[in-house]
Structure 1
Amino acid sequence: MGKPGRRITQENAETHIAGLTILQEGSVRDWMRHGKFNVTQGKNFDRSGGVGPWLVTADEFDNYDNLTVTTRVNGEQRQHDTTAHLLFSFSYLISYLSTFTSLQTGDIISTGTPTGAGARFNPPRFLVPGDEVEVEVPGIGLLRNTVVDE
């Protein structure tokens, strides 16, 4: 977030965006199965994600809602989609989140994943220690991390 706000309208939401970056969030599946608090604990495990490689300022983008996102695991393409297919647009997320919490300068909002996450394969194809995960968004860069076992 580039500036704070509460009860931000969808029409005004993009004026609050500082820029875009890439966020890799890992799912710690055995913790997600606990089920008491939805997926929160499985998505926020210590050192289970990465952010970067840098923040590209908002003025560098004409349209947030049609950015190509490609994910590769060990060089194999697993996801290739655009932000047009996210469940919720950037403007909607900012507006919705600001209905129940004040958003602050520096807050990072994760949009979720496009199609092709490991759980969606049949059978599921989850990450294992040693896997190299790359997420690439033209205009932002490439974020690469190796999965390690805690």
Structure 2
Amino acid sequence: MTQPARIAAFHAAGQDRFGVVTDGGIVDLTADFADRFTTLRDVVEAGALAELVAAAEGRAPDFAEGEVRFLIPITNPDKILCVGVNFPDRNAEYKDGSAQPKHMSLFPRFPSSFTGHGQPLIRPPENHTLDYEGEVVIVIGKGGRRIKPEDAYDHIAALTLCNEGTIRDWVRHAKFNVTQGKNWDNSGSIGPWLVPFTDAAQLDDARIVTRVNGEVRQDDVLANMMFPIREEIAYISTFTTLKPGDVIATGTPTGAGARFDPPKYLVPGDVVEIEVAGIGTLMNTIADEVL
């Protein structure tokens, strides 16, 4: 299989940068496009991901991967929206006898609640129920309102991955609101990079696997989603205008730590990997917050 193009946001040599990841390292394109783009959101909005990939061809890397700190690919999105309980086995975990819901569950996350590939997810001192949720993320390339499902894929610029880290006890603080459990600083991650979306099979045939310390915890295919990604885009764009650079985390399979007996919450030293063939592997460690 041909290696897909990989476009990353990263910090190196005292500056936030963007470039193309190659087998030998990262080609820094920040200066090449400084007159046009400041962030990858600018690149997505201009429809210029392929232009970045072409500009990196034949060039030697400027940085080794170990010399950079990966950032979340879209550092300044207008919206980050997450789809909850979107696989049948996840729905069955809720012991209320409910069949597939009529409408999807949605909630927002703040950019500050995510960190980049290779960085630690932070467990806060207030609560130690930090959990993982592996998900495929879509990045909107062409904005729109009331997008039809059959047109939805035309609005996707790129794919990436998400560990939608959650402080479980805090999602139970209110009767019907999970926002406070989903937005602890640096509790989740997005990355490692953007892969341009060029073929429906990148989503339709995708399998997502989550491992904790090498043990497979989540393993499912996106074809099993109760609300497919085409429907997610259509439904979300009914009530809000999607903009280039908007991020949608599409839902996680069963197997999160909270569902074990006893629960298997994340602890410092753990290593969590989210993998989808054709996109990559998002890896994070766990660390306690330093006060």
Instruction: Please report the TM-score for the alignment, with normalisation by the length of structure 2.
Output: 0.49
Structure scoring higher RCO (CA < 8 A, sep ≥ 6) equals 1
The gaps in structure 2 that reach 5 residues or longer are: 1-139
Identity of aligned residues (%): 59
8 A Cα contact 2:212 2:272, kept in partner: yes
| 2:185 counterpart residue number | 46
Q: 3-state SS of the aligned residue for 1:12?
A: helix
Whether 1:6 aligns to 2:145 is yes
Q: 1:86 to 1:119 in 2, by over 3 A?
A: farther
Q: How far apart, in 2, do the equivalents of 1:132 and 1:32 lie? A: 23
The gaps in structure 1 that reach 5 residues or longer are: none
Q: How far apart, in 1, do the equivalents of 2:227 and 2:263 lie? A: 24
Offset from partner CA, 1:72-118 (integer Å, 9 cap, x none): 00111111111112332110111111111111100110012012122
Supply the RMSD in Å over aligned alpha carbons: 1.6
8 A Cα contact 1:86 1:113, kept in partner: no
Q: 3-state SS of the aligned residue for 1:44?
A: coil
| 1:102 counterpart residue number | 241
Alignment of 1:63-102 (within 5 A): 63-102=202-241
Offset from partner CA, 1:45-73 (integer Å, 9 cap, x none): 21111111111111155251220111100
Instruction: Please report the TM-score for the alignment, with normalisation by the length of structure 1.
Output: 0.92
Whether 1:123 aligns to 2:254 is no
8 A Cα contact 1:85 1:114, kept in partner: no
8 A Cα contact 2:160 2:279, kept in partner: yes
8 A Cα contact 2:153 2:200, kept in partner: no
Q: Which has the larger radius of gyration?
A: 2
Whether 1:143 aligns to 2:262 is no
Q: 1:107 to 1:50 in 2, by over 3 A?
A: same
| Deviation of the 1:7 alpha carbon | 0.7
Offset from partner CA, 1:6-41 (integer Å, 9 cap, x none): 111111111001111001111112321212551122
8 A Cα contact 1:31 1:42, kept in partner: yes
